[in-house]
Amino acid sequence: MTIASIPDDSVSNKLYIKDLRIDKDKVFVKYKSTYNQIPFVEVELNIIDEGKCATINGDDGTVLYRFSTGWLNGIK
């Protein structure tokens, strides 16, 4: 299993993503962050900017994380 470790800020916090899954036209990953102690959770990614970026959104639609879709290549 490969886990991508994405820098999240300038003080060493990270976003971890793994287990990329594509179901029809939806993209899912499991993610966790160094901001809290929540274990990996599966979420649907929102692909934006003509496929160049992805976002993980909260239940209310707020963008929690935004990152380049290039990070997904390492976990396919």
- Would you state the structure tokens that stand for residue 22, as one six-digit string? 């594509």
Q: Is 29 helix (H, G, I), strand (E, B) or coil?
A: strand
Cα distance between residue 24 and residue 15, in whole Å: 25
Q: Is the pLDDT of residue 74 over 90?
A: no
Q: Give this prediction's pTM.
A: 0.88
Backbone angles phi, psi at 49, to 5 degrees: 55, 50
- Would you state the structure tokens that stand for residue 55, as one six-digit string? 């976002």
- Identify whether the C-beta of residue 49 lies closer than 8 Å to the C-beta of residue 63: no
- Tens of pLDDT, residues 10-56: 888 999 999 999 999 999 999 999 998 899 999 999 999 999 999 99
